[in-house]
């Protein structure tokens, strides 16, 4: 995760001539960065990507589909729909539900789901590294110099 520096900049507020200090965040790693996003599709339909990864990670963390859905800001019914679609299209059992009982119910990720998450994370890191290298090869340092020269204080 890039380190952030906070730089204070003077700015006018509204139509007033009053000037105040306002923090401006500049991410570390230079003024220009390439970004990429990957996801898995089956027969042209998205089946797994960053949103569904966050859902599974939240289930792992909370032990509950309901609490995980709240954490990732989606309705419980939609969370279940995502899980069912992933399991069907990927052919993997991702969650195990434990119903009530003495210690209460809950949901846990299967070992297969944990392996899948780990493998997807490795894929993302590999793609990020490749895209970073390719960006440098394609644009070199010239574009970064131009952007840096036109970006005040960052």
- Please name each of the domains of the chain with its CATH number: 40-112 (1.10.10.10)
Rounded Cα distance between 152 and 103, Å, is 58
Backbone angles phi, psi at 86, to 5 degrees: -65, -45
pLDDT tens digits, one per residue of 119-130 = 999 999 999 999
Per-residue pLDDT of the chain (154 residues; tens, 9 = 90+): 343 333 333 343 444 334 344 444 444 555 677 888 999 999 999 999 999 999 999 999 999 999 999 999 999 999 999 999 999 999 999 999 988 766 677 999 999 999 999 999 999 999 999 998 898 888 877 777 777 766 665 4
Identify the pLDDT of residue 2: 41
> pTM for the whole thing?
0.70
Rounded Cα distance between 124 and 119, Å, is 9
Identify the pLDDT of residue 31: 61
Rounded Cα distance between 35 and 88, Å, is 30
Residue 139 in tokens: 């644009």
CA-atom Rg of the chain in angstroms: 22
Identify the pLDDT of residue 101: 62
């Amino acid at each position: 995760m890039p380190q952030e520096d906070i730089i204070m900049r003077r700015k006018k507020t509204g139509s007033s001539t009053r000037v105040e200090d306002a923090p401006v965040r500049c991410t570390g790693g230079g003024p220009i960065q390439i970004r990429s996003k990957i996801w898995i599709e089956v027969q042209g339909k998205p089946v797994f990507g960053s949103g569904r990864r966050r859902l599974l990670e939240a289930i792992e963390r909370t032990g509950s589909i309901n609490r995980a859905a709240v954490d990732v800001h989606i309705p419980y019914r939609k969370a279940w729909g995502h899980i069912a679609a992933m399991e069907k299209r990927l052919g993997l059992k991702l969650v195990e539900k434990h119903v009530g009982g003495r210690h209460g119910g809950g949901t846990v990720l299967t070992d297969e789901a944990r392996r899948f998450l780990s493998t997807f994370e490795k894929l993302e890191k590999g793609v990020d590294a490749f895209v970073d290298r390719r960006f440098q090869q394609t644009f070199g340092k010239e574009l970064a110099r131009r952007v840096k020269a036109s970006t005040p204080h960052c």
